[in-house]
Amino acid sequence: MQKVLDYLKQHQDRFLAEFCDYLRFASVSAQPQHKKDLVACAEWLVAHCRNIGLDARLCETAGHPIVIAKTPGRKAEGGKRKAEDKSRKPHCLVYGHYDVQPPEPLDLWTTPPFEPRITGRNLFARGSTDNKGQNFAHLKAVEAYLKTGTPLPCDLTFVLEGEEEVGSKSLSGFLKAHRQELACDTIVVSDTGMPAPNHPALTYALRGIIAFEITLHGPARDLHSGIFGGAVENPAMAMAQLLAKVRDHHGVIQIPGFYEDVAALSKYERDQIKRYPLSDAKLKKLLGAKELFGERGFTPTEQRSSRPTFEINGLTSGYQGEGSKTIVPAWARAKITCRLVPNQKPAHVRKIVCDWLKQNCPSTVRMEIAAGHGAEAYMVSPTSDAAQAALRALEKAFGTKPILMREGGSIPIVNEFKKVLGADTLLLGIGLPDDNAHSPDEKFNLDCFENGQRMSAFLWQELAA
């Protein structure tokens, strides 16, 4: 094991240069013009995995390709795995994604999003923390085992997809089609966060999501607001009035039934959440908001990890350019996502939300709702053998006692893994709260990068123990 750790220590400069190569691909899955950047990035990954010593291949999908990379020598196994078969190595899946969020608005980046910049112990680039840096740390740990000839205590299969930021549409079918090849004991995903550099964390719950887009159509075209304004509905006003009714001034969603299936937080969980080492004052400073604001009756940490939300991600109507344009806009659009929590069913919440919107839409406009992706929330027991192994690996890698936490983001595929492959997922995120995931100036902390490599190295030992 010491050889593995020494190897990691010795090759950080090269790892960093390779990581920057990985980040230069503008692999923005939501924007069609970047399709070829995603293919190029996937091909780069395949070549890189082969250099490390993995059996790697690029798998075409209806969307962006999936990269599969396996430790060499594992025999194909079919059907149900037998827990009592102690002679075989555990087989673990490491999931990550090489696609990234759109980088816009570009003018808010200090340096261009796809030209990595290192300042102190931070590496700035779109995709650095979400998720290239996190999955790359795992690849480097495996490289250390393979290049030093250290026997890997587990068989590993990397599944690196290109559609995570747009709902992982192809992955589910891929898992089903490759169910035998991918059958495994445990899945490891590093795509979440840890609260501070010295607070490693195991995340035991994630929020789910539903996405949709509301368009309200008013007049057939933009109208002169002088000639016609006053005698016809303004769809932007209709949109404002519709959205305004969704939430009251205590942050409580007013759509009947929205909270009905929400699993209440136990005292144990509320106590665990209190260990989260970020004060309200620090959170406020981190967000740069005038004040914190959320659903009445819950702490900010609870609000953003354990409570469902109705979030406007984008509003568009009428004239957006410089100066003024005196029109009644023809339409108004809102991009919405609701975060869901354990027990809420995406299809059910989507139905009650959309039904409510339809019932509350003024008769003066025509409503169109386009459904986007959806995913259930996730929750796993933090006392399982695998979770305990992960906690030990975290402690060895970071040198401090890890905390247990819920995370507010969504990793839709985690439920799919459970459903299709029957295995639980260990969420071992190494991103920090100030990493600006999904925001301008996204970055990744290089201490997290290095400790993440060590965590991965220890993890395969602890899981096989």
The reply to whether 53 sits near a second copy by the rule CB under 8 A is no
Residue ranges of alpha helices (H) inside 384-445 are 385-398, 413-416
344 backbone φψ class: left, alpha, beta (φ>0; ψ -120 to 50): beta
Please report how close the Cβ of residue 141 comes to a second copy at its closest, in angstroms. 25
| DSSP E strands, 9-141 | 55-59, 66-70, 91-97, 117-119, 122-124
d(CA 260, CA 274): 25
Please report how close the Cβ of residue 443 comes to a second copy at its closest, in angstroms. 12
Q: How far is C-alpha 345 from the chain's CA centre? A: 19
CB nearer to a second copy: give 140 or 307. 307
The reply to whether 289 sits near a second copy by the rule CB under 8 A is yes
CB nearer to a second copy: give 29 or 71. 29
Identified binder of a second copy from the candidate list 243, 349, 404, 459, rule CB under 8 A: 243
Binding segment (CB under 8 A) for a second copy, from list 266-274, 288-296, 347-355, 413-421 = 288-296
Binding segment (CB under 8 A) for a second copy, from list 56-64, 69-77, 260-268, 281-289 = 281-289
Binders of a second copy in range 130-149 (CB under 8 A): 130
The reply to whether 261 sits near a second copy by the rule CB under 8 A is no
Site string for a second copy, 152-181 (x = CB under 8 A): --------------x---------------
Q: What's the N-to-C CA distance of the chain in angstroms?
A: 14
CB distance 427 to 193 below 8 Å: no
d(CA 65, CA 25): 14
Tokens of 296: 């009445």
Please report how close the Cβ of residue 291 comes to a second copy at its closest, in angstroms. 6
Task: Write the CA distances from 356 to 257, 369, 375, integer angstroms.
Answer: 10, 12, 20
The reply to whether 118 sits near a second copy by the rule CB under 8 A is no
Tokens of 427: 């969420």
The DSSP element (H or E) to which 239 belongs, if any, is helix 235-244
CB distance 22 to 132 below 8 Å: yes
Please report how close the Cβ of residue 344 comes to a second copy at its closest, in angstroms. 14
Binders of a second copy in range 73-112 (CB under 8 A): 101-102, 104-105, 108
Tokens of 335: 């991009």
Please report how close the Cβ of residue 87 comes to a second copy at its closest, in angstroms. 41
Identified binder of a second copy from the candidate list 9, 50, 250, 325, rule CB under 8 A: 325
Identified binder of a second copy from the candidate list 32, 79, 120, 149, rule CB under 8 A: 32
CB distance 202 to 404 below 8 Å: yes
For the CA atoms of 432, 436, 442, 445, the dihedral, rounded to the nearest 10 degrees, stands at: -20
The reply to whether 371 sits near a second copy by the rule CB under 8 A is no
Please report how close the Cβ of residue 108 comes to a second copy at its closest, in angstroms. 7
CB nearer to a second copy: give 63 or 153. 63
The reply to whether 365 sits near a second copy by the rule CB under 8 A is yes
Binding segment (CB under 8 A) for a second copy, from list 16-24, 211-219, 256-264, 268-276 = 211-219
Q: Of 96, 97, 89, 95, whose CA–CA distance to 72 is shortest?
A: 89
Please report how close the Cβ of residue 381 comes to a second copy at its closest, in angstroms. 22
The reply to whether 335 sits near a second copy by the rule CB under 8 A is yes
The reply to whether 224 sits near a second copy by the rule CB under 8 A is yes
Q: What is the 3-state secondary structure (H, E, C) of 362-400?
A: CCCCEEEEEEEEEECCEECCCCCHHHHHHHHHHHHHHCC
The reply to whether 300 sits near a second copy by the rule CB under 8 A is yes
The reply to whether 465 sits near a second copy by the rule CB under 8 A is no
Identified binder of a second copy from the candidate list 48, 97, 138, 304, rule CB under 8 A: 304
The reply to whether 382 sits near a second copy by the rule CB under 8 A is no
The reply to whether 231 sits near a second copy by the rule CB under 8 A is yes
Q: Name the CA radius of gyration of the chain, rounded.
A: 23
d(CA 289, CA 194): 21
The reply to whether 295 sits near a second copy by the rule CB under 8 A is yes
DSSP secondary structure code for residue 459 in this structure: H
Q: How far is C-alpha 170 from the chain's CA centre? A: 16
Binders of a second copy in range 387-446 (CB under 8 A): 407-410, 433, 436-441
Identified binder of a second copy from the candidate list 56, 93, 194, 327, rule CB under 8 A: 327
